Structure 1
């Protein structure tokens, strides 16, 4: 897979005045604060007999409101409220069930909590507010739960066999919390976006912008993200912003503010180090929406700078479809491409904070 001189750089050094200009710009950038992982403070609930959400009964809405209220009482973040509603959707369909199932015949209530002493009395488990309070207490005891993919966080509390059981309920949980909140709850720029649902095809906003080689002026070729237009790193950082709910200026994640230590995210070469500095997870398993990282020379990547792309689709045969920019040799460089790649070719996959490698 030829990829020489591809995925080049994020404002690499250029001679003379431009280098001085970039250095001065970097000095003006304050060290970035780590991105919030909880996507905002807890929200209060407004619900009455006239409240309607398509697809849900009044009983379900009242139970969702009880869960959100239990979270608000302990200042649980909105992400925590969404996780709690998601788990209840996956366990009981937001209904107070007075029966269990094969694996848990003694399970009861909104969260199908067991009669093992950890979840209070039978009355507690059958009470929406009390059972939600106990679930939330257990969720908050999970180390780093705010950075986990929602279904993984839920699974670490419930300990069910399939850690991805709750994944399909996340969009509905987001919708319910938005609809039942006391104000307009926007997820723009938040960490409650849904990875893997970022865009379709070549929706890169600057697909017609000139490259630094075309204009001969690096400053004129820098995108709003602080990378060169139509480089692999600019497209990948666009996808990261997009998946995290930031789709227009001012963008949340920039070359200059991505790392909490104030260093630039840099060329493809330094992206793995950038993820490590930020404390975001990495692994060897492709996940839709994850950044694909090639170390220098890996898989035909540039021997100096490496390459980054984005996982578009994961197949069952051990391959995945990656999408990106500047992944083909001239004259088709600096354009959008897709290709199917064996999962063992890249050096690593860089996950968003709401993703975790499936074990």
Structure 2
């Protein structure tokens, strides 16, 4: 929110449960490659103990889905791929089939089958190959390794070079969930040498509470023109990060959304500002998208509304939200995360330059 009169935003109706990424679920995994880094190129391969798979859901995936994820990881291990490569495989299977072996295709590909929705065009083996999680994953990884510089590509772009999805950013929203699943199944770390997460939002993104002025005095203007540590301040910081603008002069400021330079004020006017710029919006959560709540929606402030950012998309359709000013006082102007059911927010505001508003 952006007002000195506003109270703490409580999206109580949208909250399922707070999530600490991997911190507890990792205890149920069984692996031996604790030094692997699933987010950085070159990290050691991840091993999975098939007899020690998690008994609880991981990022919304469970049961047969986790068994299939383990088979994808094992296929990458057999080829000597890095942990990052294995995670790209899991991410792709999430985006194509929800980690299920599907015996049907879709409109663009009615002959698509299996975890990776591979076509019956001779490139992916027999029907039996495409329906076999290990074999189909092996064929995906074999194609991935032929993509020049694939480990340095953004994960969604690496997957797109193999799958040729209509939207090259289709897989981006599954990356954080894939990181969680690989980390939990392989019992590996997702931190860099400094002990911080190295798995932020794909595409020049942040790492949890990285707001540069997170200790600044509230109700005073931030470098972005919002009030320090309000929900709108953090959301606009994330937007700038993903546009590659992490130091002054920032690309997107409070007055960017209006030709007269007037400020947005509270979260109330964010969608209007987005529409005025011609930037895409929709109802599908995407990693990095701004979550917009109109006043009173999902427990948001009845006057000012609320904005946050999609940190991860879960397998059950819910998403992990991050932001500021979403906790009750005295922690109202601090960082928070929580899981939200899709359909609760009023809209998702996508980054400028997105090639389409909704996922295919």
Larger Rg: 1
Structure-2-length-normalised TM-score: 0.49
Structure-1-length-normalised TM-score: 0.49
